[in-house]
A and B are shown apart, each in its own frame.
Chain A
Amino acid sequence: MSIKKIAKGEFSQFVDELIGTQKVIGVTSKGDKYDFGQLESSKDLKLDYDVTLLPPKKYFQPPVETLVTYEGQGKYESQYDCEKFVLIGVHPYDMIAINQMDTLFSQDNYDSHYFARRNNATIVACDVVNPSKNIFASSMNTAVVKEGFDVLLTDIGDSYIAEAATEKGEKLLAVSKKSLSDADKADLEKRQEVWDKNDKSLNKHQLNCSVSYLPKLLERGYNNPVWEEKAKTCFACGSCNQVCPTCYCFDVQDDINWDMKSGRRDRCWDGCMLDGFTKVAGEHEFRKNKADRFRHRLYRKGKYVPSKIGGQIACVGCGRCVGACLPDIANPVNVYNKLVDDIGII
C-alpha cells in the first residue's frame, strides 16, 4: 500500500474534489468546540481539532435508526441505509473504538444494520495535533492507531503524510487529480516523531497502573466504597453514555403511522446509567441503585467488554465523559486510580 506526502494546500483541493464526487463527513467547528458534520467545502474541515463533542459512532449507529418497517401484523421488512460516505478526521482513540464496535457487532450475531453503514464508509483517520484538556489516550495505549482506517493522515508541518491501508483507501487517494508524490525517508521519520510524542503526551490524566491490568484490578474492586462515594452525586443523566465512543447499548421502539396499520421499529441510543435501564414489566428493577449502575458502566469498560474482544480495554481515553459529567464523577482514571490506591497492584 502507498504512503503519500500531500502539501496542505493540495490536500484542501483533494477534499474539495472528494466533496464533488460523494458524501463527505469531517470535523467542523461548532462555536468554540468541534463536531463531525457533512462538509460543503474543505474550508470547513478542521483537522487540528482537539476532540469532537460526539464520537463518530453516530455514523454507524445513529441516535435513532429504523431497523424494520411493517405493513400490518406479521409483515415486516428490513430497512438499510446504504449511502456511501467518507469520514475524515477520526482520531486514533476513536478509530480504536470503531474497531472494537466492529468486533462486538459481528460476534455472536452479525448485525447487518451496523455493517450496512460500516461497509459503506471510507475512514480517513488523523493523528492528534492538539490534545484536548481531558485526553488520557497515552494511558490507555490508544494515542496511535495501526489498523482499521482506510487512510491515515499525519500532520508533519506544511504537509500531511497519507498512508493508504486498504484498497478503499488507495481508491480514495486516486481521486486526487494531481498526482501525489511518495513520502520519503525523512517524511516517515517526521511521522514517527509525531507518533512517539503522542504516545506519551496525550495524557492529561495519568492511570497509575498498566492498562492491561484493569480487568484484574476490577476483579478485586467490586465491593470498594468508591462506587457509592462517586455515585452519591450522580444525576443518572446518561451524558457519559451519550458521549462515549464505546457505549452502544440501545432501546428498540415501535412507531405506528396514521393508518394505524403500518409503521416502523426503531432502535435508539440508551444508557446503562439511566433509571429504568434494567426495569422489567411488573416494576422490578435489577440495578436500581445509582452506585450499581455506575459500577456496571466502568466494569463494562474495564472488564466485561474486554473479555469479549480479546482483552482490549473498552475505554479509549478520549476524555469526553470527563467533560460531559456535571457532578464531575465520570473520570474513569480517578476511579481506577482509587482502586489502585486501595487494593494495590499484585
Chain B
Amino acid sequence: MCNCCAEKKDIYLPQPATVQELKMMNDTELYLKISMDNEPLEYVPGQFVEVSIAGIGEAPISISSTPTLKGGFELVVRKIGNVTNAIHKLQKGNKVGIRGPLGKGIYPIEQTKGKDLVFICGGIGLVPQRSFINYVLDNRDDYGDVTILLGTRCPSERLFHSELEEWSKRDDITFLETVDKSDECWKGNVGVVTTLIPKVETDWKQAAVLICGPPVMYKFVLMSLMEKQVPSDNIYLNLERKMKCGVGKCGHCQINKYYVCIDGPVFCQSDLSDVPEAI
C-alpha cells in the first residue's frame, strides 16, 4: 500500500471481533453477544453493524443491546439468506468481521426525554427496538409513561422470554402482548398488534411512537395512529431495505431521496411525507 492510501480510513474494512455468547431463541432466531477485539463499539440505539463472514459476505444487522450494556453488543439473526445461514453456524470464540456502527440511529433519545413513549413491535421488529427500550429502562427517570406493544405470529416465535416476563412484572411500564395465532398453552391476547392500540391509555397527541416490524405492518399501524391523531412529527419508523455497503454509496437501500443506511434506518414519519416508496 502506498502512502496516499494508508492515510485514509477504509470504510469497507471489517474489524476483528469475537463471538462471546450464542443461543437459539426459537427455530430461526439466533442470539449473539459479540465483542470487538480492538476498539469497543460505541453506538446509539437504532444503529446497525455489517457482520462479515469471510468467503460468504456481509449482512446488515440491527444492534439489539442498549449502549449501557458493557462487555460487548448483542445481535439477533434470523436464518434466511447466505450470510445469516453462515452466522448460524458460528460457535463461541469464533472470529467475525464487524463494520460499524452504521446508520444515523436517530431514535430520538434527546427529543423524547420527559415524553411518554409507545413502542410498537411486530415479530423480530422487537430486536432493534429492544436497544432503545432497555436504554429507556436504564434511564427510567428521564422519560414519562412507557408502553410496549408486541405482536408475534405465534407463541413459538416469541423472543427474549425472560426479559418479556420482567417487563410484564414491572409496574413502571405497560407491556401488552398479542399473538396472531394462538396455541394450546397461550393464555394471552390473540390478534394482530393493532388490536392492542385501543387498550393503551396514554396521551396519544403528546407521546412519541416508535414502530418496527415487517413491511406489511406499517400501513395498518399508521392508520390506527391517525385515528388517535398522533402527529407525524412524533412517529418514528425503522425501515428495512437491501443493503450492501452500509455507507451511502452502493445504492441498494435507496428509497426515493433517502439512503436507509446513512439517512436512517430510523425515520421520523414527517420526513417521509414525500417519500412514496417508504411503506
A residues within 8 Å of B by Cβ? 67-68, 70, 72-78, 80, 82, 104-105, 108-113, 115-116, 119-120, 222, 248-256, 260, 263, 265, 267, 270, 272, 277-282, 284, 286-287, 292, 296, 299-300, 303-304, 307
Known: A82-B5, A112-B5, A272-B251. A74 touches B14 (CB 8 A): yes
Q: Which of B2, B240, B249, B277 contacts A111 (CB 8 A)?
A: B249
Contacts of B244 in A (CB 8 A): 250-252
The number of inter-chain residue pairs (CB within 8 angstroms) is: 153
Main secondary structure of the interface of A (DSSP, over half): mixed
Find out whether the CB atom of A303 lies under 8 angstroms from the CB atom of B257: yes
26 A-B pairs whose Cβ atoms sit less than 8 Å apart in the complex: A70-B54, A70-B97, A74-B52, A74-B54, A74-B97, A78-B1, A78-B13, A104-B249, A108-B247, A108-B262, A109-B262, A112-B11, A115-B8, A116-B5, A119-B4, A250-B250, A252-B58, A252-B250, A254-B55, A256-B55, A270-B251, A278-B252, A279-B242, A286-B242, A292-B277, A304-B254
Find out whether the CB atom of B1 lies under 8 angstroms from the CB atom of A73: no
A255 to B57, CA, bound (A): 9
Contacts of B37 in A (CB 8 A): 74
Shortest distance in angstroms between B13's beta carbon and chain A's nearest beta carbon?
Answer: 5
Find out whether the CB atom of A253 lies under 8 angstroms from the CB atom of B52: no
Q: Which of B4, B14, B248, B257 contacts A304 (CB 8 A)?
A: B257
Shortest distance in angstroms between B72's beta carbon and chain A's nearest beta carbon?
Answer: 15
Per the 8 Å Cβ criterion, residues 198-253 of B in contact with A are 215, 240-242, 244-245, 247-252
A258 to B157, CA, bound (A): 39
Find out whether the CB atom of A280 lies under 8 angstroms from the CB atom of B54: no
A63 to B123, CA, bound (A): 39
Find out whether the CB atom of B10 lies under 8 angstroms from the CB atom of A249: no
Find out whether the CB atom of A278 lies under 8 angstroms from the CB atom of B242: yes
Contacts of B108 in A (CB 8 A): none
CB-CB nearest in chain B for A252? B244
Q: Is B186 close to A, CB under 8 A?
A: no
Identify the interface centre among B4, B80, B262: most chain A CB within 10 Å of its CB: B4
A251 to B57, CA, bound (A): 11
Find out whether the CB atom of B277 lies under 8 angstroms from the CB atom of A68: no
Contacts of A75 in B (CB 8 A): 16, 54, 95
Q: Which of A74, A108, A287, A300 contacts B95 (CB 8 A)?
A: A74
Q: Which of B5, B16, B257 contacts A74 (CB 8 A)?
A: B16
Contacts of B256 in A (CB 8 A): 299, 304
Identify the interface centre among B13, B58, B59: most chain A CB within 10 Å of its CB: B13
Q: Is B160 close to A, CB under 8 A?
A: no
Identify the interface centre among B37, B82, B254, B276: most chain A CB within 10 Å of its CB: B254
Contacts of A120 in B (CB 8 A): 4
Find out whether the CB atom of A116 lies under 8 angstroms from the CB atom of B4: yes
Shortest distance in angstroms between B276's beta carbon and chain A's nearest beta carbon?
Answer: 7
CB-CB nearest in chain A for B257? A304
Shortest distance in angstroms between A298's beta carbon and chain B's nearest beta carbon?
Answer: 13
A254 to B52, CA, bound (A): 10
Contacts of B250 in A (CB 8 A): 249-252, 267, 270
Q: Which of B53, B59, B94, B245 contacts A250 (CB 8 A)?
A: B245
Extra contacts, 10 of them, besides A73-B95, A307-B257 (Cβ < 8 A), are: A68-B12, A74-B16, A112-B10, A249-B251, A250-B249, A252-B245, A252-B250, A281-B81, A281-B84, A286-B255
Q: Is B9 close to A, CB under 8 A?
A: yes
A109 to B54, CA, bound (A): 23
A292 to B125, CA, bound (A): 27
Contacts of B190 in A (CB 8 A): none
Contacts of B84 in A (CB 8 A): 281
Closest 3 CB pairs of A and B: A281-B81, A74-B95, A249-B251
Contacts of A279 in B (CB 8 A): 242
Identify the interface centre among B37, B97, B242, B255: most chain A CB within 10 Å of its CB: B242
A5 to B4, CA, bound (A): 33
Per the 8 Å Cβ criterion, residues 126-169 of B in contact with A are none
- 0/1 interface trace, chain B 245-276, chain A, CB 8 Å (1 if under): 10111111011110000100000000000001
Shortest distance in angstroms between A313's beta carbon and chain B's nearest beta carbon?
Answer: 15
Contacts of B81 in A (CB 8 A): 280-282
Find out whether the CB atom of A287 lies under 8 angstroms from the CB atom of B16: no
Find out whether the CB atom of B17 lies under 8 angstroms from the CB atom of A284: no
Contacts of B2 in A (CB 8 A): 80, 82, 116
Find out whether the CB atom of A68 lies under 8 angstroms from the CB atom of B10: yes
Q: Is B96 close to A, CB under 8 A?
A: yes
Find out whether the CB atom of B252 lies under 8 angstroms from the CB atom of A72: no
A45 to B17, CA, bound (A): 51
Find out whether the CB atom of A73 lies under 8 angstroms from the CB atom of B96: yes
A87 to B240, CA, bound (A): 41
Q: Is B56 close to A, CB under 8 A?
A: yes
Known: A249-B250, A250-B244, A252-B57. A281 touches B80 (CB 8 A): yes
Shortest distance in angstroms between B152's beta carbon and chain A's nearest beta carbon?
Answer: 17
Contacts of B14 in A (CB 8 A): 68, 74, 76
Known: A73-B96, A263-B55, A304-B256. A280 touches B242 (CB 8 A): yes
Shortest distance in angstroms between B78's beta carbon and chain A's nearest beta carbon?
Answer: 8
Contacts of A303 in B (CB 8 A): 257
CB-CB nearest in chain B for A308? B257
Contacts of A278 in B (CB 8 A): 241-242, 252
A281 to B84, CA, bound (A): 9
Find out whether the CB atom of A82 lies under 8 angstroms from the CB atom of B4: yes
Contacts of B94 in A (CB 8 A): 73
Find out whether the CB atom of B8 lies under 8 angstroms from the CB atom of A248: no
Contacts of A307 in B (CB 8 A): 257
